[in-house]
Amino acid sequence: MAKGKNNVFFCQECGYESSKWVGQCPACKAWNTMVEEIVDKKSSVTHRQITEVQVAKLNDVQSSSEKRMDTHIEELNRVLGGGIVPGSLVLVGGDPGIGKSTLLLQTCKSLSDQKIAVLYISGEESLQQIKMRADRIGIFSDEMALLCETNLDLIQGVIEERKPQVVVIDSIQTMFRENVNSAPGSVSQVREATSVLMRLAKEQGIAIFVVGHVTKEGTVAGPRVLEHMVDTVLYFEGDRYASYRILRAVKNRFGSTNEIGVFEMCQSGLREVPNPSEYMLDGKPKNASGSIVVCTMEGTRPLLVEIQALVCHSAFGMPRRTAAGVDYNRVNLLMAVLEKNVGVRLADQDAYINIAGGMKVSEPATDLGLVLAIISSFRNRPIAEDMICFGEVGLSGEVRSVNMVEQRIAEAHKLGFKQCILPKVCMKNIQKPDGMLLKGVENVREALEIL
């Protein structure tokens, strides 16, 4: 072995480092994920180098607002915080086939149309494959350049020579450096590649988008340090067999992480959905029991979704409970609240809960909608078409307060709803829209009396 190098074992799931091989990773508890790699030893810093380091006072640093690049894709601009910041490193993750490459290719088209130099680097597809997808999106300008390469040293030389304003790396798991003795996609390669790209972005002022593969749990594959090193982490979510997609920021140094972007997959690529609530409620059945609309918040954005419930007598000793789009345990908890505090016998009833459109909702404000949908289906009584509700339900049957009440009511009023059942404690100091009837309730029993 060459002098200055030693063998280290890395966990392929979380990046944990160990001096010897172990069957189970001590950090993430995954089995058989430790892989041996050779790591170069770092030389120590001399006293002369330490004295050359410049230390600045915080009050002497001049702050400046970066001029962002407009992508002309409003949903993407919202998630990024207003546009692309020059010199930023953005990680985009998502399931295979969800539309990551399509979204970035559409972004490249929009930027190149504004005479912004763009370099799209692919390590997974050939030039012909990229061209076939680009033809479905539209006509690109000459500012768009393509490169199919996985050697990061060559890629670094091309970027420093051409000096583009925006670079897309698809994907980071295919990139490698020759001086790192491990396979592409390993912990050492991903960490080294990210370090090189981060240095390029900061020194050259280039905005770099990096595509990252995800594991079966939905997190970005490779070491967790990858997410810590980049400036922004975006996740592309949604069922690949459904038409809608949600772009969510889980980390953003240049904006808020409370915004989402909604897209619809169509023949020519991804189309923006400026009004997701109207899109989610399209096709809602009329005069059907077990159906109610609730308002949930995705960050600071209100979304109206339809909760559907089907309750029927069980033919077996153990009733079946199924939940799609909501927490299964939460459904069981709310059904127990109905039995205990309202006196509705559901122990011998099968219950099937679904969020229409394939949405996944985890906010407690949908509890009241779940309860009302279950009772509506159990008693076979439809809920008024113009009624909406929201509120958290406690274990004693009380309806607790939620945040951003006025935004929820305004979104419901915009889509034509006339009645709203909400927690009574939330009715203080709120502005009621004209033509909107607000009904405050303190517990589940009062909400059922209204229905």
Annotated binding-site residue? 291: no
Backbone angles phi, psi at 76, to 5 degrees: -70, -40
Residue 69 DSSP code? B
At 414, list the tokens: 């915009």
User: What CA–CA distance (Å, rounded) separates 422 from 366?
Assistant: 11
Annotated binding-site residue? 100: yes
Annotated binding-site residue? 350: no
Residue ranges of E strands in 227-285: 232-237, 244-252, 260-266, 269-272
Annotated binding-site residue? 155: no
Helices and strands in the chain: count of H runs, count of E runs? 12, 21
Annotated binding-site residue? 101: yes
Annotated binding-site residue? 246: no
Contact between 32 and 23 (Cβ < 8 Å): yes
Preceding amide of 291 cis, omega within 30? no
Burial label, 417 (beta-carbon count in 10 A; 0-12, 13-18, 19+): buried
User: What CA–CA distance (Å, rounded) separates 140 from 9?
Assistant: 45
How far lies 169's CA from each of 30, 129, 155, 356, 357, in Å? 29, 16, 10, 35, 32
User: What CA–CA distance (Å, rounded) separates 439 from 373?
Assistant: 17
User: What CA–CA distance (Å, rounded) separates 80 from 258?
Assistant: 11
Q: Which residues are annotated as a binding site for ATP?
A: 94-101
Q: Which residues are annotated as a binding site?
A: 94-101
